[in-house]
Amino acid sequence: MNISSKLLENAVNALATLPGIGKKTALRLALHILQSDKESVEEFCGAILGMRINIKFCKKCHNIADGELCNPCMSPKREQSLVCVVESIKDAMAIENTQQYNGVYHVLGGIISPIEGIGPNELNIHTLVDRVRSGEVKEMVMALSPTIEGDTTIYYISKQLKDYEIKISTISRGVSFGGELEYADELTLGRSIISRIPYKNE
């Protein structure tokens, strides 16, 4: 490319580090930013940097928070003894958006994955064990990805908690709502038959 500038290249490379954004899209975004006025670009960068530097994480569950604790952990309307274990803040948000859950969360910050070099010590598992030890937890719902890594993580956590009397469950797995059986993969379909649920005629 003959038309270029070191500054533009830097910005394109920076934008291309974002997930799902390749060089072409990054160039489009950079040229858009170039055409915006300086104040709005300063605001843009201020919002991003401000978030990264000033955001707090809940001391209890590692969710994002405005203060010491996040909204669910502070809420008296929530069942504080029911803890949903999730991989990331995004997963907690997804569950929150279903409006079907009334407990609190615990964000692991990843799942055990030997291939990516993530072991139990890299995750927020010891704080989860601490929460259980303090006696506040009665039931734990494992809402991790239905993958080998997810299953490994569930297995590891359940081993850590075997001495405590709490109920551990996982979110149910099966065919998607609205999905067609024909297109469900064999593993999912197979599991959905094994873990079939009694039909309730309501």
Binding site for a copy of itself (CB under 8 A): 1-8, 10-11, 13-15, 17-21, 25, 27-34, 36, 38, 40-45, 47-56, 63-66, 70-72, 75, 88-90, 92-93, 96-97, 105
Q: How far is the CB of 164 from a copy of itself (least distance, A)?
A: 26
Q: How far is the CB of 96 from a copy of itself (least distance, A)?
A: 5
Of 73, 75, 170, 64, the residue nearest 109 (C-alpha):
64
* Structural tokens at position 127: 């704080």
Count Cβ atoms within 10 A of the Cβ of residue 74 and give its class: 0-12 exposed, 13-18 middle, 19 or more buried: middle
- Shorter beta-carbon distance to a copy of itself: residue 65 or 111: 65
Distances (CA, A) of 86 to 11, 114, 128, 187: 34, 19, 11, 22
Distances (CA, A) of 69 to 25, 59, 95: 37, 6, 19
- Shorter beta-carbon distance to a copy of itself: residue 102 or 195: 102
Q: How far is the CB of 201 from a copy of itself (least distance, A)?
A: 34
Q: How far is the CB of 92 from a copy of itself (least distance, A)?
A: 6
